[in-house]
Amino acid sequence: MFSKNKDSEKALAPQVATKRAQRASIPSIISSDLTVKGTLISTGDVQVDGRIEGDVRAVSLVIGESAIIQGDIYAEDAIIRGNVTGGIRARKVQLCATCHVEGTIIHEALSVEAGAFFEGNCRHSDNPLGDAPETQAPVRRAAPAPKPAASSNTVSSPVSSTPIQYDEARPQAARAAANFTPPKA
């Protein structure tokens, strides 16, 4: 009855291994009285209730109601209950009713509770953590208009949009007369 045998020891071994695995998944906690300045990187779970001024990288991230994050977030799963000013890149993002998020969210799955505040852009991506900012398409801006050369012989007319050619040897009065348009009667 109380004797140990090998079968009972083998039956206990999986339970011990499970308890060790559970201990390894205990989240790292940034308490409400703590401010972190810099990048926070974790290969496990992180719960933030304090303030972080920098980027946060974690497998699973929970941002508490009193938390303030000023920086970018990279995570597999992100649950946002507090304030975030910055970009969020995560496979699964949950914006809770108490959150205040300002920034861009790149996600695979996004859920937003009623009452959540979100100002910014969101975009679906099949691999939000693999899309590096350098690999995104560049923003296309209009090319600036070419500046005329300083020694150009062309003057823009205030009346017409066609440029007027003039000869450097012509006197100033002749050039002014060339630009003159008589008033219509």
- Count the neighbouring beta carbons within 10 Å of the beta carbon of residue 117: 13
Please enumerate in sequence order all residues whose Cβ is within 8 A of that of 83, keeping only pairs 6 or more positions apart, or say none.
Answer: 67, 68, 69, 99, 100, 101
Q: What is the pLDDT of residue 26?
A: 84
**For residue 162, is it within any domain?**
no
pLDDT tens, the chain, 185 aa long: 455 555 544 544 444 344 444 445 688 999 999 999 999 999 999 999 999 999 999 999 999 999 999 999 999 999 999 999 999 999 999 999 999 999 999 999 999 999 999 999 999 999 998 864 443 333 333 444 455 454 445 444 444 455 555 455 555 555 555 555 666 66
How far apart are alpha carbons 90 and 107 in whole angstroms? 5
**For residue 108, is it within any domain?**
yes
CA distances from 184 to 91, 142, 160 (A): 68, 38, 15
**For residue 10, is it within any domain?**
no
Residue whose structure tokens are 């937003």: 112
**For residue 147, is it within any domain?**
no
How far apart are alpha carbons 181 and 43 in whole angstroms? 75
For the chain, the C-alpha Rg in angstroms (whole number) is: 32
**For residue 2, is it within any domain?**
no
**For residue 185, is it within any domain?**
no
Q: Yes or no: say if 76 and 59 are a contact pair by the CB < 8 Å rule.
A: yes
Provide the residue type at 148 as one letter: P
Count how many domains the chain has: 1
List phi, psi (to 5°) of 45. Answer: -95, 145
Of 109, 110, 108, the closest CA to residue 129 belongs to 108
How far apart are alpha carbons 116 and 162 in whole angstroms? 56
Q: What is the pLDDT of residue 152?
A: 47
Provide the residue type at 153 as one letter: N
Structural domain boundaries enclosing 100? 25-130
